[in-house]
Structures are given as C-alpha cells and as structure tokens.
Amino acid sequence: MSLSSSSSSPLSPAQESTPLLTSDEGLMTVRWALVQRRGGLRRRRRWALWRQVQGYLFLLPALLIFALFVWYPVVLGFVMSFQSVDLINPATWVGWANYRHVFADPLFAIAWRNTLAFTGYALLFGYLVPLVLALAINEMRHGKSYFRLAFYLPVMLPPIVTVFLWRWMYDPDSGLLNALLSLVHLPGRLWLEDPQTALPALVVVATWSAAGSTMLVYLAALQGVPASLYEAAEIDGAGFWRRLWHVTLPCIRPIMLLMLVLQIIATMQVFIEPFTITDGGPQHATLSILLLIYTYAFQNADFGEASALSVLLFLVLAAFGLIYLRLTSRMLQGD
C-alpha cells in the first residue's frame, strides 16, 4: 500500500470509531509512521546485507584454513592414490596401479592383522579397566580425588615420554618388569624381542596411557545417574549387584557404546608405540597400518602408494565414524 493512496482514501470505520485524535492529526501521524517505517525498512535491509558481509568476513580465516589444510588435502589424498608421486618429479597418472601394489604387498595382510589384533587386545585389556576403575572410585568415600588424579596422571605424559619410559621398563636386563618378576622368583622375558609378546606389550603401553581419560568420562557419567533410581530400586528390594546391573549400567550404556567406538577408531590409528619402541619388529610382529603408510612415504618415497593405503584405512575408519555419528545422534534424540 502506497502512502499517497492511504492519504487520499477515506478513513476506515475502525479508525473513525476511535477518535483519540482529530482526523487531521491522525492522518499526519499515520503518514509520519509510514515514512519512518519505509526508511527503516531500507536501512534494515542494508544493515542485514552488511551483517551478511561481516559474517563472511569473520568466517574468512576459518574457511581459508579449513579449505587449505583439511578439505584440500582430503581430496588430494584420493587424487594422489591414483598417481605416482615422489615429490621430485611431477605427478603422473597411474590408475589403479598403487592399489594393486598395496594389495600385492605381503606386508599389507600382516599390517592389517596386527592392527586388528592391536585393536582387539586393546579392547580386551583396556575396555573394561576404565569402567571398573570408575565404578570403584565412584563408590569410594575416602581419597576419591587422589584416585582420580593418580589414575589420570599417565594421560598427561607426552607420548614420547611414555614410550621411552616403557621401552626401558621392558628392557630384559635393566628393566623394571623383569626385576619385579625376579623378586617373586619368576623367569624374566624378552618382552619386545619375542614376536609373541611384542604386540601385547605395546597394547599395555597404549592402555596405560589412555585409560585415565576414559575413566574420567565414565566418572562424570556415573555422577549423572539419579539417586532416586537407586532409592527406588532399593525399596523394591534390589540388592547391590541387581542395582549395578539394572540401574547403573543401563544409565551409562550410551556412554559405554560411544567409548567403545571411539576406542576402536583411536587404536586402529596406532603408530607411535610401534614406531618408537619396536620399529615394527620383531619380524613385522608390530607393523601397523599407519607405520606401513609411513614406511611407503618416507622410506620408499612412494607417496602415491602411501595415499592408496591411507584411503583404505580411511574407508575402514569412516565406517566406524558413521557408527559413532549414528550413536551420538540417537543419544541426542534420546535426550
């Protein structure tokens, strides 16, 4: 509705029936308000546009960084897996040759087997440990914060410190482990030199350094279990174990599932322990996928083959990532 038409048209009955102002004054007020409104609209639209521009200006650093250092390398990885790249000569297209080489490499199967074994052992050793710790610490009426601190401390150590410390503790002659065994008159072992024990030994290191943070997450989740549920269960005559099984565990089950998936994803990326402690040995018993990728790229200077193996690892991890995503979104709907 334009301003001129409103001023020339007769006043509506509604306006006549409320003669707070004389008709002239009323008209002036309406006109003035409309002018204001129109100018305001234009100004508001311009301001909205400026706000858009500002929004993108504020986003610019993040967009640039993400584009250059995440989105581009992810795409580049897929492209490179079909190329021969050695960083000296220009990249050339080789089709599926990298993938064929990777699959033909006898180390491929060994590395996958080791990585899956590592993940399996890590679940075996490491999945229940943080949960049991958290359950026990949560029940403690004394020294709770000391326990939390003591069990969390290894998480704070830099991985390089952890691996060198443990490499020394595993030392057959001067290491702590064999010394403790000899205290109770048990024979020592060549922990890292024996293909049988090398991989589990590395799993112990990884579990030692990671269990604390999972424990902390469980502790927080346990705090979220409502006391009324315990009281209700108790009134219904449920004993300790039944309360644990029917109240505590169902309450933290979503977190347990989440931690399971996160642990699988994290342990399949195992690198620093085999890289620094055993260097993939003995007899490739601790060669992990990521270590193989590293070897392809930085020892054989074959970045194409390394990318092809990375893509394969990515596909496996992405499957678990999707599970993680579904779990979180289901948990969120449950909220």
Partner 1 sequence: MATEYHEPLLEQEPGSDQRRQRDSADGLARSLLRRGWRWHRSATATSRSSEVSSERTLLSPLMLRRPLVRFCYWAVFLLLLVGTLTTLGPLYWMVSGALKSNVEIFQRPPTFWPAHPQWSNYSNAWQILQLPLYLGNSLILAAGAVLLQLLVSATAAYALSKLRPWGRSAILFAFFATLMVPPVVYLIPQFVNISDLPLIHVSLINNWAGVWLPEAANAFNILILKSFFDTIPGELTDAARLDGASSWQVFIRIVLPLSRPALAVITIFTVIASWKDFLWPLLVLSNSNLQPLMVALYHESGLNANLPFSYLMAGLVFASLPPILLFLLFQRQIIRGVNLTGLKG
Site for partner 1 contains 256 (CB under 8 A): no
3-state secondary structure of 145: helix
Nearer to partner 1 (CB atom), residue 109 or residue 322:
322
Rounded distance between C-alpha atoms, residue 308 and residue 313, angstroms: 9
Site for partner 1 contains 130 (CB under 8 A): no
Site for partner 1 in 65-94 (CB under 8 A): 65-66, 68-74, 76-77, 80, 85, 87
Hey, how many other C-beta atoms are within 10 angstroms of the C-beta on 290? 20
Nearer to partner 1 (CB atom), residue 128 or residue 157:
157
Contact (Cβ atoms closer than 8 angstroms) between residue 257 and residue 112: no
Binding partner 1 (rule: CB under 8 A), the pick from 152, 195, 281, 282 is 152
Nearest approach, Cβ of residue 263 and partner 1 (Å): 8
Site for partner 1 contains 260 (CB under 8 A): no
Nearest approach, Cβ of residue 67 and partner 1 (Å): 9
Q: Report residue 270 as tokens.
A: 């195992």
Count of residues engaged in binding partner 1, rule: CB under 8 A: 119
Site for partner 1 contains 232 (CB under 8 A): no
Binding partner 1 (rule: CB under 8 A), the pick from 16, 231, 236, 279 is 231
Site for partner 1 contains 107 (CB under 8 A): no
Say which residue the tokens 């048209």 belong to. Answer: 9
Site for partner 1 contains 269 (CB under 8 A): yes
Site for partner 1 in 23-52 (CB under 8 A): 51-52
- Non-local CB neighbours of 126 within 8 Å, separated by 6+ positions: 203, 206, 207, 210, 211, 214, 263
Which of 130, 277, 134, 137 shows the shortest CA–CA distance to 209? 130
Contact (Cβ atoms closer than 8 angstroms) between residue 212 and residue 151: yes
Site for partner 1 contains 252 (CB under 8 A): no
Rounded distance between C-alpha atoms, residue 98 and residue 128, angstroms: 40
